[in-house]
Amino acid sequence: GQQVMQIPQYQHVQEGEDFTTYCNSSTTLSNIQWYKQRPGGHPVFLIQLVKSGEVKKQKRLTFQFGEAKKNSSLHITATQTTDVGTYFCAGLEPLGGATNKLIFGTGTLLAVQP
C-alpha cells in the first residue's frame, strides 16, 4: 500500500547544530502535516503545507513542501534541548472525490546533547 518514508530514523546532534528530516511519498499528496511527539508524550500538530513549493517558518523551524508535492522537509536551525522528540510527517493522499487518507511517516527521533 501507499507509504510515506521518512529519514533518518534517528539523529543525534550537539546543541546548536542544525537538523533536517525528510519525508518522501511515492504518490502526489494533497497536503502534508508535521507533528512533534515529546518523549513519553503524544503527537502534537506543528504545521500544514498545502501548496506546491510552499515554505513556512516557525521561529527556528523551516518546513518545505516539494514542487511535485511528493516530498517535504523539516529543518531546525541551532537545535536546543527543547527540540528533543520524534518528528512525524503525515501526507494526505487523495483517493478520489472528497475522500482522502492521512498516512504517517515512520518518524525521526531527534536527540540533542547539551
Question: Contact residues for another protein (CB under 8 A)?
Answer: 1, 6, 9, 30-31, 33, 35, 41-45, 48, 88, 90, 92, 98-102, 104-107
**1: amino acid identity, one letter:** G
CB of 23 to another protein, least distance (A): 11
CB of 105 to another protein, least distance (A): 6
Nearer to another protein, 90 or 112 (CB): 90
Q: CA 34, CA 10: separation in Å to the nearest integer?
A: 17
Task: Classify residue 75 by its DSSP letter.
Answer: E
CB of 42 to another protein, least distance (A): 4
Nearer to another protein, 2 or 80 (CB): 2
CB of 12 to another protein, least distance (A): 17
Of 90, 109, 91, 88, the C-alpha closest to 19 is 109
Of 91, 110, 87, the C-alpha closest to 33 is 91
Across the chain, where does the E strand assignment appear? Answer: 4-7, 10-14, 19-25, 31-37, 44-49, 55-58, 61-65, 71-76, 85-96, 99-104, 108-113
Nearer to another protein, 44 or 55 (CB): 44
Nearer to another protein, 41 or 53 (CB): 41
